[in-house]
Structure 1
C-alpha cells in the first residue's frame, strides 16, 4: 500500500484558488485582490499565498504584472493541452470532450499507421498486443493497451501524432482508476484491439480506421459507465 499524501496549507490554498478561478468567481482577465487582503481573508501568510500563486502561474491560470497585480489568465484562449489533467480533475464534464477527440484522432492515427508502418513496426505491434493478454491485472492491462496506441502513433511517422497520443492519455490520468472497465479481462481486451493491429499489419488504411472507430467507441462506452 502507498502512504496517503499529506496535504499542506499551500496545497489547500492552491486548490481553493483554482476552484474559484475555474468556477468563475475570479473571471478571466480580472485582477485578484491585493496580496495582503487575500492573505488576511484566507488566514494565511503572504509567503504561503506566494507559493500558491507560483503553482497557479505554472499551471497557466494566473499571471503577475509587476507593479500592477495578479491577473486571471483566459486559459480557454491562451492555454494549452497541458491544462487538461487539471481540468479533468476539476470537472468530469471535460472527460467527454477528451474522449471525443480520442475517437477522431485515434481513428486517423490507425489509418495513417496502416499506410506507413514499417515491417519492424508491424512486428512491434504484434508483440505489444500479446503483452495486453499477458498482463497480470486490469491496471497492467490498461497500461499495456496504452503502449499499443503509442506504437500506432509512432508507426504514422508523424511525431505530432505521438505527442497528441501522450496528451490524451495524460488528460485522463486523474481518473484512470475509474476507467479500467474495458481491461478487467486481458483476453477480451486483446480481442477488442486485435482487429486494429491486424488491419495495420495488413496495410489496409480503410479497415484500420473502421476497426479503430469500433474499438474506441466500445471502450469509451464502457469507461464512461465506470465513471457514472
Structure 2
C-alpha cells in the first residue's frame, strides 16, 4: 500500500491564503499586510510564508514587487484557465460555466475530428471506446471515457484542442468523485459515447457535432445531479 501524502505547513497556509483571496478577504489590487504581521496572524514563520507566497505568485493570484510588497493580482482579468481547478475547489458554482464551455468545445472538436481523422485516429478511437465498455468500476470507466475525448482532440490535428481538453478535465479534478454518475454503468457509458465515435469514424461532420451535443448534454445533466 502507498502511504497517504501528508499536508505540510506550507500546503495548509497556501490553501488558507488562497481561500482568503478568492473569498475577497484580501481584495483584488490590495497589498497584503507586512510579512511579519501576516506570519504572526497565521501562526507561522516568515520562511513558511515566503514559500506559500511563491506558490500563489506562480498560480497567478499574487504579485510581489521588491521594496513595495505583495499585492493580490486581478486574476479574473489577467488569469488563465490554469486557475480553474482552484476556483472550482473554492466554489462549485464554476462547474456550470465549465460545462457550458465543454459543450461548445466538445461539439467543435467532434466536427473537426470527423473532417480530419486519419485511419490511425479512427482505429485508436475504436480501441479506446472498447476500453470504456470493458472498464470495471465508475472511476475506471470515467478515466477510460476521458481518454476517448483526448483522442478526439488529437484527431483534429490541432494541438490547442488537446490542451483545451486537458484544461477542462483538470478543472474537474477537485470535484471529480462527485461527477462519476454517468460512468457507474460501463455499458450505458459506452452506448452514450459510441454515436460520437461512429460519426467521426464515418467522416460525417454534422452527425458528429449532433452526437457530441447529445452526449455532452446527457452526461452534464447526470453530473449536475451528482453535485446537487
Q: TM bucket by the smaller chain? A: over 0.9
Measured in 2, the distance between the counterparts of 1:41 and 1:47 equals 14
Aligned to 1:209: 209
Aligned to 1:14: 14
- 2:43 is the counterpart of 1:37: no
Secondary structure at 2:7 match in 1: coil
**Larger deviation, residues 198-207 vs 36-45:** 36-45
Aligned to 1:143: 143
Measured in 2, the distance between the counterparts of 1:7 and 1:117 equals 44
Aligned to 1:28: 28
Q: CA deviation at 1:2?
A: 5.4
Q: CA deviation at 1:7?
A: 2.5
Measured in 2, the distance between the counterparts of 1:48 and 1:223 equals 38
- Structure 2 residue runs of 5 or longer lacking an equivalent are none
Secondary structure at 2:40 match in 1: helix
Measured in 2, the distance between the counterparts of 1:3 and 1:220 equals 34
Aligned to 1:62: 62
Measured in 2, the distance between the counterparts of 1:12 and 1:122 equals 46
Aligned to 1:188: 188
**Larger deviation, residues 20-29 vs 207-216:** 20-29
**Larger deviation, residues 66-75 vs 42-51:** 42-51
Secondary structure at 1:64 match in 2: strand
Secondary structure at 2:15 match in 1: helix
Q: CA deviation at 1:9?
A: 2.2
Measured in 2, the distance between the counterparts of 1:212 and 1:6 equals 40
Q: CA deviation at 1:3?
A: 4.1
Measured in 1, the distance between the counterparts of 2:142 and 2:41 equals 44
Q: CA deviation at 1:138?
A: 1.0
Q: Describe the superposition over 1:94-140 as per-residue Cα deviations: whole angstroms up to 9, x where unpaired.
A: 11111110010000000111111111211111111111000021111
Aligned to 2:89: 89
Aligned to 2:163: 163
Measured in 2, the distance between the counterparts of 1:2 and 1:226 equals 29
Residues 92 and 2 (structure 1 numbering): CA distance in 2 closer, same or farther, change over 3 Å? farther
RMSD: 1.1
Q: Matches of residues 68-107 of structure 1 in structure 2 within 5 Å?
A: 68-107=68-107
- Matched residues, number: 228
Secondary structure at 1:172 match in 2: helix
TM-score (structure 2 length as normaliser): 0.97
Q: CA deviation at 1:11?
A: 2.1
Aligned to 1:122: 122
